[in-house]
Amino acid sequence: MQLIFSTYLGGSTPCATCTTAHTFAQNTASDSQGNTYVTGATEVLDLPVLNAAQPQPQANSTLSAFVAKFDPTGTLLWCTYLGGDNQSMGTGIAAMPGGGVVVVGFTSSDSSGPFPTMNPYQVGNNGQTDYFVTVFDSNGNILYSTYLGGSGVEGDAGFTDDNSNGNNVSVDAQGLVYITGVANMSGSGPVINFPTTINAIQPNLAGGTDAFLAIIDPSQSGFSSLVYSSFLGGTGNEKGHAITANTAGTLIAVAGYTNSSDFPTTSSNAYRSTPPPSFKSNGFIAQFASSLPGSLSSQYTMGYSTYLGGVANDPRDDTYGITMDSSGLIVATGRTQSADFPMLDSSQPSIYNSAPYLNPKTSNDEPYVVKINPSLSGAASLVYATFLGSGSTSGGGGAFCTGVVVDSQGNVYVGGETSSQGVLYIPSSVPAVAPQLLPYTQDALFPVYQRGQFDAILMQVSPDGTTLAYSTFLGGTNSDRTYGLAVDPSGNIAISGLTFSNNFPVKNPAQPWPNNPGNQNAFVTKLGR
């Protein structure tokens, strides 16, 4: 792969109430024309705003979300702040079918300096931190914007770049917006429940925190715009990290984290319907069917739901990214410390089906990719699974992936970060033990670890899961990590994240180095064959 464009996005002047000049990108999206969108958060006063709906941070803001759009060659088309008087952070982003983009995040801005709303389901902040959902047209004008939350702390509280993983918003062909995240009911003052609808599969919070599934129709306004909302969780804690919907909106899949012994699974067909005997966490994957997408009378059913992770030795695993391929099969990525993370037996094709050095109590994380067919049952539902390397026997080294996309040919791309050196990938006709170094391919854009605390990574898995088709480091001589990942109709890959490097690789940059040594900046990079 070669760089099509690569640019910094940041500034050098802290806002009036900020102490650093940090900017980070959390997620990215591509539309049918090949435009690239990015969201995240910033503490700077001098982002390169252009055609902005909000040209500067609001007074007393300590962190603002931002949204930017680049054309296929990397030219900046518009860039705007998005926030109120406190903290706001963009966590998920998806292109709208008719042009434009939807951004989801969370905010602690309240009535004294509110987050900007338009035709909202919820006009203000119900608690300490609420989600927001904001839709822009193709020119950057706000069409719809709402708070979404109860009196507790939504979004898992912390406004930091490593707080939210995976893309927590998806859009179908009708323009319905699908959201997941973290909800609870703690907090001071009157209790206001996270909003759920009368047809919710799980209308009540079950544990300390639950994941949720919400659907918004931004063509409606007020109460009519919330089409569906339900909790998803057991009596422990859950986080909804990522969501995907098919184009018709009839199938919706959510991925995340659970430490509940009673997470709602489908006992008849789950890969594993029961939890480990003792565990810190497992990932989960849950798929739902909607009978009448967009209708308030639609009925929702859970067709497939499973724990995903190791079983022995107190596993600590998580599922961060999820997508569906053109056949409706689910593809997911995340991180594991479990040598017994579910793999096919050694007679089945896989890149790496073994990582015996992994141990939740001593080793660092290793990324994985799984493909699931939710129409099959039990072990048969696991189409393939593979480790991706860069694990370790100790707390050093390691890697994890948070973003996953599938192109029109069925190729799977994952993005994330690593703190390990590289080793040349050698294809094998039989499954192999995953290396403790990051495997890179012969045609890697950057085959060498760039010597920061961690490097961004991009990896491509073949459609059948048997071959590492591409793998590269990406970064400068300081720390870099990938969070957002998207694919355009031509098969080009857009990635976004953060970098502390002043020599991050750029090409046709909309913004060269912002000259803020020691601070993090967002980056937006597009690669193609």
Domain parsing of the chain, residue ranges: 319-438+456-471
The 3 state secondary structure assigned to 67-114 is EEEECCCCCEEEEEEECCCCEEEEEEEEECCCCCEEEEEEECCCCCCC
Name the pairing type of β-strands 64-70 and 76-82.
Answer: antiparallel
Task: Please state, in angstroms and rounded to a whole number, the distance separating the CA atoms of residues 104 and 65.
Answer: 10
Site of tokens 């999820």: 322
The 3 state secondary structure assigned to 119-165 is CCCCCCCCCCEEEEEEEECCCCCEEEEEEECCCCEHHHCCCCCCCCC
Q: Measure the N-to-C terminal CA separation of the chain; round to a whole number of Å.
A: 5
Q: ∠ CA 53-59-62 to the nearest 5 degrees? A: 95
The token pair at 469 is 């088709």
Cβ-count burial of 386 within 10 angstroms (0-12 exposed, 13-18 middle, 19+ buried)?
buried
Q: Which of 258, 282, 463, 251 is nearest to 375 (CA)?
A: 251
Task: Please state, in angstroms and rounded to a whole number, the distance separating the CA atoms of residues 518 and 14.
Answer: 13
Residues 6+ apart with CB under 8 A from 464: 349, 384
Q: Could you read off the pLDDT tens digit of each residue along the chain, which spans 529 residues? A: 999 999 999 999 999 989 999 999 999 999 999 999 999 999 999 999 999 999 999 999 999 999 999 999 999 999 999 999 999 999 999 999 989 999 999 999 998 889 999 999 999 999 889 999 999 999 999 999 999 999 888 986 578 887 777 999 999 999 999 999 999 876 556 678 899 999 999 999 999 999 999 999 999 999 999 999 999 999 999 999 999 999 999 999 999 999 999 999 999 999 999 999 999 999 999 999 999 999 999 999 999 999 999 999 899 999 999 999 989 999 999 999 999 999 988 777 789 999 999 998 888 899 999 999 999 999 999 999 999 999 988 777 789 999 999 999 999 999 999 999 999 999 887 878 999 999 999 999 999 988 778 999 999 999 999 999 999 999 999 999 999 999 999 999 999 999 999 999 999 999 999 999 999 999 999 999 8
CB 484 within 8 A of CB 93: yes
Compute the Cα dihedral for 293, 296, 298, 299 and give only its sign.
positive
* 3-state secondary structure (DSSP) of residue 430: coil
pTM for the model: 0.97
Task: Please state, in angstroms and rounded to a whole number, the distance separating the CA atoms of residues 511 and 44.
Answer: 15
